[in-house]
Structure 1
Amino acid sequence: MSIIDYNKLISLHLSGEISREDEQALQQWLAAAPENRAVFAKLEKIWRAYQPREPDDIPDRELVWSRLEHSLQLQPAAQPPALLHADHPVTRKSWFSDNYFRAGLLAAAAAALFFVYTTLQSPATWQTHATGYAQTETLELPDHSLVRLNAGSEIRFAREFADSVRLVALQGEAFFEVVPGTRPFVVKTPHAEIRVLGTSFDVYARGEKTEVIVTEGLVQLSAATAVDRGRVLLHANEKSSVRAHHAPAPAEVVNADYLIGWLHNRFVFHKTPLAEAVAEIERRHAVHIRLVDEALGNLTMSGAFEDRSTDSTLQAFCLALNLNVAREGDTYLILRRD
């Protein structure tokens, strides 16, 4: 089991609902390494800090996650300056329900700690590769699998894979061509786990969403920060996605080669909010784009656009949505037509 898998045992232990067999497995894991005990201590502190409260005393969601980030001592993820986020209201019933909420919070903490844990485990044995804006990179992993990183992405993996599993951690987007083997190949993102033996697939992991599109072979997708992790099996030309604290969506039949447009120098969107599309242009072109009216970020767009110059790409975007684009110094402005 990985650190994310042990999150369930830790949650059961802290809630007093763990079985004798699971408690024994957890204690063996804790005794195996000081790094494991350090992770447990962090998660226990978070669990104890968020006792159930009366409804009128429940803090807002942003405050809770701010405290979580502080307790983990993690730096906020860098974002493009013009990246906009749509607000998704969350009811108290679904968000705050005593142990269920704390279990979800713990799962999120465990997922966030995964990147820290891989470094703590043995710093000399882990490699990190990151791409900046307007950069891509192709890497060969220790088993000779190939990974192509999209702009603004980061991957971590062991210099030599373990005997039992080929494990990598990803934030951003990457296309994997996995060499077949008897050991499972596992990709961890902040909110999902992707497990295969030998296949080709794309992983998009940004914000609270992880999306997987399979071009060849068979992929298993499960959630990492949901109480019910769920499992979805994806075949070639199928996709699914996981959002924070939710199980994976059902498999959907797609044209995989078409949707993974960045490999072919295209932008491809399907009911994508303009704010998300703009953020993708910023990453791939290393530019600053501002939506003059933030409400424009909720407009959705579908279609394929050739990735040419920034001016040409934005003109095509705006033409599709009946908008205008202008320049103000080094910033591109997207605004409504008069």
Structure 2
Amino acid sequence: MTTEAMPEPPPKQLLFDFFAGKSTALQKQWIADWLKESENRVLYYQYLNEWESQHPQYRADVQPALDRFRAAVQQVETTPEPSPFVAVSRGDSWSSRSIWFWAASVLLALSIGGYLSRGVIRYETYHTAYGETRTFKLSDGTTVALNANSTLRVPRWRFGQQGREVKLDGEAEFSVSHLPNHQRFIVRTSTDFAVEVLGTEFVVYARDQRRKVILSRGQVKVLYQPGKQLLMKPGDWIALSESGQLQRKITAQPAKFSSWKQHRFTFDQTSVAEICQLIHENFGLTVRVTDSTLAQRQISGVFKAEKPDELVDDLVDLLQARLVKNGDRIDIQPIVN
């Protein structure tokens, strides 16, 4: 039996036929084998984005649908007779209002689904699980160390050609490569907080509503809140609280803020409550301190821990407290004589 020889890389039309559902079984298998090589996926998504722009899928226009829904509800409220097109069974009654509500919900879900799927196509996503760290290079030469329970989204196309902007949720260290065209590198954590640099090394922390930046070398500009900005120098440490208050310090050892790359946790007058929050963010383990005085005690030192139990045990020994497991939660309690 002879098999058809396929070109390498695949012609654009072959992939377009695949996206349109017109490929043969042999072509589908060949494309699947070709996609096993990660470097081929960039071209695949590029062609997919081009094909989608030429063949737009149905996109729900949500506002008109909601307007029609409201009009239908008003009509039902003023018309007592049931619709002749609605079947009513015992124990499960459907009205015109229910059907219109269901239809509007479906249209809204389709609209949201289409929006989210385009994000998957446009961005390559790097993610770490609880307790996992990861180091990798971007296409512009920038090195990224991603801390546990963090996500970084990078544009799939023209990154380094038409801007360098990434989106971070979690914590990461960036060693940014300087480009000949002096193109800026932007780390965006939300709509109102971003770090803008040319070439430098820094750590960005972005979890919940808290933001922190620690600069090791070079210079960065922090953009926060509408129209506000701050220039940082090496050794600067800034934090933006949930309430929007900006705090600035100077540290002689900025490298300690990225010690998590070696599974080390460095504390400098850090409260026990903050350490428990860090354990939850990095390992997904909930640790509660039952005594408020104990929770406010401050800890300094470097602790090696690849698993949450190691850090919790060190903390309990240092506090001379006791550990009580309560389901999925760990309670740290003072020892009562």
TM-score (norm 1): 0.57
Q: What is the identity, as a one-letter code, of the residue corresponding to 2:146?
A: L
The structural deviation recorded for 1:286 is: 4.6
The structural deviation recorded for 1:266 is: 1.0
1:230 aligns with 2:228: yes
Matched ranges for 1:1-338 at <5 A: 123-160=120-157, 161=159, 163-181=161-179, 182-190=182-190, 191-223=192-224, 226-227=225-226, 229-244=227-242, 246=244, 248-293=246-291, 296-307=294-305, 309-328=307-326, 331-338=329-336
**1:255/1:166 Cα in 2 relative to 1: closer, same or farther (>3 Å)?**
same
Q: What is the identity, as a one-letter code, of the residue corresponding to 2:202?
A: F
Q: Quick one: higher RCO (CA 8 Å, sep 6+), 1 or 2?
A: 1
**1:282/1:236 Cα in 2 relative to 1: closer, same or farther (>3 Å)?**
same
SS of the equivalent of 1:317 reads helix
**1:245/1:185 Cα in 2 relative to 1: closer, same or farther (>3 Å)?**
farther
Task: After superposition, give the CA deviation of every residue in 1:141-160 in whole Å (9 maximum; x if it has no partner).
Answer: 22121111111111111013
Give unpaired runs (5+ residues) of structure 2.
Answer: 1-62, 64-107
TM-score (norm 2): 0.57
**1:253/1:231 Cα in 2 relative to 1: closer, same or farther (>3 Å)?**
farther
The structural deviation recorded for 1:259 is: 3.0
Task: After superposition, give the CA deviation of every residue in 1:225-255 in whole Å (9 maximum; x if it has no partner).
Answer: x34x432222222221223463643352331
SS of the equivalent of 1:198 reads coil
The structural deviation recorded for 1:333 is: 2.4
**1:309/1:152 Cα in 2 relative to 1: closer, same or farther (>3 Å)?**
closer
Are the counterparts in 2 of residues 128 and 154 from structure 1 also a CA contact under 8 Å?
A: yes
Are the counterparts in 1 of residues 215 and 234 from structure 2 also a CA contact under 8 Å?
A: yes
Q: What is the identity, as a one-letter code, of the residue corresponding to 2:200?
A: T
The structural deviation recorded for 1:119 is: 6.0
The structural deviation recorded for 1:219 is: 1.4
RMSD, matched Cα: 3.2
Task: After superposition, give the CA deviation of every residue in 1:83-121 in whole Å (9 maximum; x if it has no partner).
Answer: xxxxxxxxxxxxxxxxxxxxxxxxxxxxxxxxx9x9687
SS of the equivalent of 1:246 reads coil
Q: What is the identity, as a one-letter code, of the residue corresponding to 1:188?
A: R
The structural deviation recorded for 1:296 is: 4.7
Are the counterparts in 2 of residues 212 and 240 from structure 1 also a CA contact under 8 Å?
A: yes
SS of the equivalent of 1:231 reads strand
Q: Which moved more, 1:144-153 or 1:290-299?
A: 290-299
Q: What is the identity, as a one-letter code, of the residue corresponding to 2:213?
A: V
**1:260/1:267 Cα in 2 relative to 1: closer, same or farther (>3 Å)?**
same
**1:209/1:125 Cα in 2 relative to 1: closer, same or farther (>3 Å)?**
same
| Counterpart-to-counterpart distance in 2, 1:308 and 1:167 | 31
Give unpaired runs (5+ residues) of structure 1.
Answer: 1-40, 42-72, 74-115
Are the counterparts in 2 of residues 222 and 247 from structure 1 also a CA contact under 8 Å?
A: no
**1:207/1:275 Cα in 2 relative to 1: closer, same or farther (>3 Å)?**
farther
The structural deviation recorded for 1:214 is: 1.5
Q: What is the identity, as a one-letter code, of the residue corresponding to 1:186?
A: I
What count of residue pairs does the alignment treat as equivalent? 223
**1:124/1:285 Cα in 2 relative to 1: closer, same or farther (>3 Å)?**
closer
